[in-house]
Amino acid sequence: MAQKEGGAEQLSIMTGGSLRTKAKVGAPAAGGGVVVEVREKKGPLRAAIPTMPFPLAVICLFLNTFIPGLGTFISAFTVLCGARSELVPERGVCCVFWLNVAAALIQILTAVIMVGWIMSIFWGMDMVILASGWVQV
């Protein structure tokens, strides 16, 4: 069972059928247990979401909630203004910009059948989650 305590992720290790030890991920476990690290694999569209300042991310979420795709479209331009994304070092700023524009178009075009509207809200929530961990350099 994984828990976050004090910013460090910890795993509870089952040994002999009882909950015995808590270990930090990557640390050797007492009693010979194995600590497993889990990482989220993100597709190119999800990895292209820019990390913005928190107020801007909240505005994009608000726009995505009421006009699907608009907040995503605006966030695409933040990439051109220097917002970081996990995909920028790998693919470059222009590719990340166009991926965000494509995500906005998908949200706009599929909003008619509610899929785009729901996707747009989740996209905005992801922007806010990423912004909550944003640190200005």
73-95 pLDDT, tens digit per residue, is: 999 999 999 899 989 999 999 99
Q: What local confidence, expressed as pLDDT, does residue 29 receive?
A: 56
Same domain, 26 and 58: no
Does a structural domain hold residue 127? Answer: yes
| In the predicted structure, residue 39 carries a pLDDT above the cut 60 | yes
Does a structural domain hold residue 21? Answer: yes
Q: What are phi and psi of 135, to 5 degrees?
A: -125, 125
* CB contact at 8 A, 73 and 59: no
Q: 51: burial class by Cβ within 10 Å (0-12, 13-18, 19+)?
A: buried
More confident residue, 29 or 109: 109
How crowded is residue 75: how many other Cβ atoms within 10 Å of its Cβ?
Answer: 31
The whole domain housing 14 covers 2-32
Mean pLDDT of the chain: 81
Same domain, 91 and 117: yes
User: pLDDT grade, residue 7 (50/70/90)?
Assistant: very low
Q: What local confidence, expressed as pLDDT, does residue 14 receive?
A: 43
Q: What local confidence, expressed as pLDDT, does residue 16 receive?
A: 45
Does a structural domain hold residue 38? Answer: no
| In the predicted structure, residue 23 carries a pLDDT above the cut 80 | no
Same domain, 61 and 125: yes
* CB contact at 8 A, 91 and 126: no
Does a structural domain hold residue 98? Answer: yes
Same domain, 70 and 90: yes
Instruction: Please list, in sequence order, all residues whose beta carbon lies within 8 angstroms of the beta carbon of residue 106, skipping any fewer than 6 positions away.
Output: 69, 116, 119
User: pLDDT grade, residue 32 (50/70/90)?
Assistant: low
Q: What local confidence, expressed as pLDDT, does residue 31 receive?
A: 64
Q: 79: burial class by Cβ within 10 Å (0-12, 13-18, 19+)?
A: buried
Average pLDDT over residues 28-36: 68
